[in-house]
Amino acid sequence: MNWLLWSMLGLLAMFIGMMFVSQRYAWRFAGTVTLLSVSAIFLLPFFWLVCAAFKDKDALNEYTFLPPVSHWVSGYKPEVSTPASLERAQRGDLNFDNFTELFTTRQTSQGPVRFERYICNSLFLASTGTTLTLIFSSLGGYALAKYRFKGRGFIVAFMLASLTIPGVLLLPPNYLIIYQLGWMDSYKALLIPGAVSVFGIFLFRQAISGVPDDIIEAGRIDGCGEFKIYLTLVMPLVRPIIGAFCLVSFLGSWNSFLGPDIFLQSQDKLPLPNVLNQYIGEYAAQYGVFLAGTLIAIIPPAILFFALQREFVAGLTQGAVKG
């Protein structure tokens, strides 16, 4: 028996006890405990990741989470004195070696490349991609929501149908198209084909159709141009959906691997997932370095998520009426 089983038994006993007092509270208790344990299980890998990123490469696979406290700092006394263990004790089981290694300038076929470069690549790709998609998708959504014109029904039906075509089908032909356009090994290959998202157009169409027509009409009477109406009157009213869409779009672009893997060749143009994956390729098994990089790679999406959290949930609540 271990602590996990004991505590589960204890909780079960509490639940049964509460059943005698009040069934409603017992079930409420069970629900809260379930949510608590699920949350804990879901957060555990993050804690593990933080530990792993700072663990020495020899200690990485030796402890599930953290090494014993006495081994944390450098210069501890190892149990057995072999050259390897003495050297490791000199480093300490917790150190910054993974990060130092990560930020060491590496020689590549494109000359020396610093790790900061890859972070900038990823930031550039994700933010530019998100901005482009946001502008073009919301413009499309606005046009479909607030203008009556011939062919609108057909366009909507066509978009819905196109949603069901998996992106993978387009990959082989787009590879050749990108090649013929001369966009190979260029960010254009990643940014331009994805600059409009049908999903985004629908999200915005849904949200913008909830904006009262009076506001738009009032803008027209005041002499606003159509684009200005979109930008200054409509967009501020659908802020939640902007937040939600930005987050989803940023995540997709920040974490994408297949596209950059196929379209980019120069080492100094690669984004983070592709570069980090090289640390555990066929010729290397630097898991610690990879995990340190992962920890860094999680930070920007996490910041964005915390900043947009309220919008994200509200936006999806609005958008959820679709389907």
Partner 1 sequence: MSAGLMTGTSAIPTAPASDARSWWQIKQRLTPWLFLSPYFILTCVFFIYPVFYALVLAFFQTNGVASRKFIGLNNFTTILADRDFWTAMKNTTVFAIFSTCLQLPISLGLAMLLNRRGSRLKGIFRLAIFSPHLVGQVFVGVMFTMFFTPKYGLFNQFLQMLLGWVQGPHAESFLEYRWLGNENLVMPAIIIATMWMYVGFNMIYFLAALQNVDQSLIEAARIDGANSWQQFLNVTLPAIKPVATFVVVMSTIGSYNLFELPYTLLQGFGPNNSGMTVVGYMYSNGFSGGDIGYGAAVGWILTLVILSINLVQLKLSGTGKE
Query: By the 8 A CB rule, do 292 and 98 touch?
Result: yes
CB of residue 300 vs partner 1: minimum separation in angstroms? 9
CB of residue 193 vs partner 1: minimum separation in angstroms? 4
Helix axes 287-319, 198-208, angle to 10 degrees: 40
How far apart (Å, rounded) are the C-alpha atoms in residues 185 and 172?
16
Q: Which is nearer to partner 1, 20 or 42 (CB)?
A: 42
Q: Which H or E run includes 108?
A: strand 106-108
Residue 108: φ, ψ to 5°: -130, 175
Instruction: List the one residue out of 217, 277, 294, 204 whose CA is nearest residue 243.
Output: 204
CB of residue 251 vs partner 1: minimum separation in angstroms? 7
Q: Which is nearer to partner 1, 113 or 178 (CB)?
A: 178
Q: Which is nearer to partner 1, 117 or 279 (CB)?
A: 279
How far apart (Å, rounded) are the C-alpha atoms in residues 229 and 145?
14
Residue 312 in tokens: 């994200």
How far apart (Å, rounded) are the C-alpha atoms in residues 275 and 195?
24
Q: Which H or E run includes 241?
A: helix 239-254
Query: By the 8 A CB rule, do 234 and 142 touch?
Result: yes
Q: Which is nearer to partner 1, 2 or 82 (CB)?
A: 2
Q: Which amino acid is at 158?
A: F
Q: Which is nearer to partner 1, 107 or 207 (CB)?
A: 207
CB of residue 285 vs partner 1: minimum separation in angstroms? 9
N-terminal to C-terminal alpha carbon distance within the chain: 48
Q: Which is nearer to partner 1, 10 or 31 (CB)?
A: 31
Query: By the 8 A CB rule, do 65 and 52 touch?
Result: no
CB of residue 268 vs partner 1: minimum separation in angstroms? 19
Q: Which is nearer to partner 1, 92 or 315 (CB)?
A: 315
CB of residue 217 vs partner 1: minimum separation in angstroms? 6
CB of residue 78 vs partner 1: minimum separation in angstroms? 18
